[in-house]
Structure 1
Amino acid sequence: MQGSTLELVMMAATLAGAGLASGVLSGLFGVGGGAILVPILSAAFAVLGTDPAHVAHLAVGTSLGIIVPTTIQSYKAHRSRGMGNAALLKRWRLFVPAGVIVASFIVGFVSGDVLRSVFVVVAVVIAAKMLFLPKGWYLAKDLPSKPVTDGVGFGIGFISTFMGIGGGNLNNLFMTLFGQPMHQAVATSAGLGPLVAIPGVIGYMISGWGADGVPPLSIGHVNLAALALVAPFAMLAAPIGATLAHKLSARKLEIAFALFLVSVAVRMSMDIFA
Structure 2
Amino acid sequence: MDWSLVGILLLMGAGGGYAAGLLGIGGGMVLVPFITMIFTAKGFAPALVVHMAIATSLATIMFTSLSSVRAHHRHGAVQWRIVALLAPGIVIGSWLGPWIGKQMNTSALALLFSVFVAFSAAQMLRNKKPSAGRDLPGTAGMFAAGGVIGTLAGLVGAGGGFISVPFMTWCNVRIHQAVATSAALGFPIALSGTLSNIYFGWSEPGLPQHSLGFVYLPALAVIVAASVTMAPLGARMAHKMDVAALKRVFAVVLFSLAGYMFYRAFA
Query: TM (normalized to structure 1)?
Result: 0.90
Amino acid at match of 1:88: I
For the pair 1:227 / 2:228, whether they are aligned, the reply is: no
Aligned partners of 1:37 and 1:63 also within 8 Å: yes
1:107 equivalent in structure 2: 101
Whichever residue aligns with residue 93 of structure 2, its letter is G
1:55-104 deviations in Å (ceiling 9; x for gaps): 11111111111110111111111111110211011112211011112223
Please list, as runs of the form range in 1=range in 2, the aligned pairs for 1:64-75 lying within 5 A after superposition. Answer: 64-75=58-69
Q: Which AA in structure 2 matches 1:240?
A: L
**% of aligned pairs identical?**
33
CA 1:212–1:196: 2 relative to 1, 3 Å? same
Aligned length: 267
- Separation in 2, partners of 1:174, 1:255: 19
Q: Which runs of 5+ in 2 are unaligned?
A: none
- Given the alignment of the two structures, is residue 190 of structure 1 paired with residue 196 of structure 2, yes or no? no
2:110 corresponds in structure 1 to: 116
CA contact (8 A) 1:123 1:262 kept: yes
Identify the match of residue 197 of structure 2 among 204, 209, 214.
204
Separation (CA, whole Å) in 2 of partners of 1:140 and 1:155? 23
**Once superposed, which parts of structure 1, at least 4 consecutive aligned residues long, lie more than 6 Å away?**
none
- Partners of 2:123 and 2:219 lie apart in 1 by 34
C-alpha distance in 2 between matches for 1:189 and 1:259: 22
Specify which of 79, 84, 94 is matched with residue 78 of structure 2. Answer: 84
Unaligned runs of 5+ in 1: none
Shift in CA distance, 107/199, structure 1 to aligned 2, threshold 3 Å:
same
Contact 1:181 1:250 (8 Å CA) reproduced: no
Matched position secondary structure for 1:93: helix
TM (norm. structure 2) is 0.92
Task: Please say which of residues 114-123 and 35-44 is displaced more in the overlay.
Answer: 114-123
State which of 56, 59, 73 in structure 1 corresponds to 2:53.
59
Q: 1:77 to 1:112 in 2, by over 3 A?
A: same
- Quote the Cα distance in structure 2 between the aligned partners of 1:175 and 1:265: 24
SS of match in other structure, 2:125: helix
Q: Where do residues 32-181 of structure 1 align in structure 2 (5 Å cutoff)?
A: 32-132=26-126, 134=128, 136-138=129-131, 140-181=133-174
- TM-superposed deviation, 1:196: 0.7
CA distance in 1, matches of 2:186, 2:114: 20
Partner residue, 2:239: 246
Deviations 1:192-222 (A, max 9, x none): 1111111111111122112232221101101
Say which is worse superposed, 139-148 or 216-225, in terms of deviation.
139-148
Q: Equivalents in 2 of 1:253, 1:192: separation in Å?
A: 23
CA distance in 2, matches of 1:211, 1:139: 50
Deviation at 1:140, TM superposition (A): 4.8
Contact 2:130/2:171 (CA < 8 Å) preserved in 1? no
Between 154-163 and 242-251, the greater mean CA deviation after superposition? 242-251
Q: Secondary structure at the residue paired with 2:165?
A: helix
For the Cα contact (< 8 Å) 2:9–2:223, is it kept in 1? Answer: yes
